[in-house]
Amino acid sequence: MTLRLAEAAVAFEVNTAHLPGADPIPHIAEAPLPAPAAVPSPYRTPLADLLHRARTRIETDGWCRDAAFDESGAVCPIRAIRLEARGDRDLAHDACVTLLDAIQRQFAGAETIPSWNAQQTSAAPVVAAFDRAAQHAHARNQ
């Protein structure tokens, strides 16, 4: 039986040597995955919308703890706010004040956003603070 299988394998190779389809299966490059669709903001007020966009940026680009940003593109909370404010300094300032208020309601000892951010061990509390700040701004119609 082994002899017959060996003969069949040789015959197959000889009979298909000239066929281009007999070559090993070529590597097929995978198509890149499409970028995730941006989540629409549930807020219609400018300040709450900005805080939501900054939160989404941290989730998308990554969270940076000890610097404004890092080489991988991760950002700190203040940088996320400034990037999403798109040059509107007054709105960025109001967003930082609202975020600090939301942080201090839960963490009374927090003096600044950067000092509080440096104490966190993951992005979860940062994202939660953005959620609280956005909800508070929305409730105040800001």
- What digits encode the pLDDT tens for the residues 13-36? 766 665 555 555 555 565 655 555
Q: Are 96 and 113 in contact (CB under 8 A)?
A: yes
Model pLDDT, residue 22: 52
pTM, entire model: 0.71
> What is the mean pLDDT of the segment spanning 93-110?
94
Write down the mean pLDDT value for the chain. 85
pLDDT at 51 over 60: yes
Question: Tokens 């890092």 — which residue?
Answer: 70
Residue predicted with more confidence, 142 or 85? 85
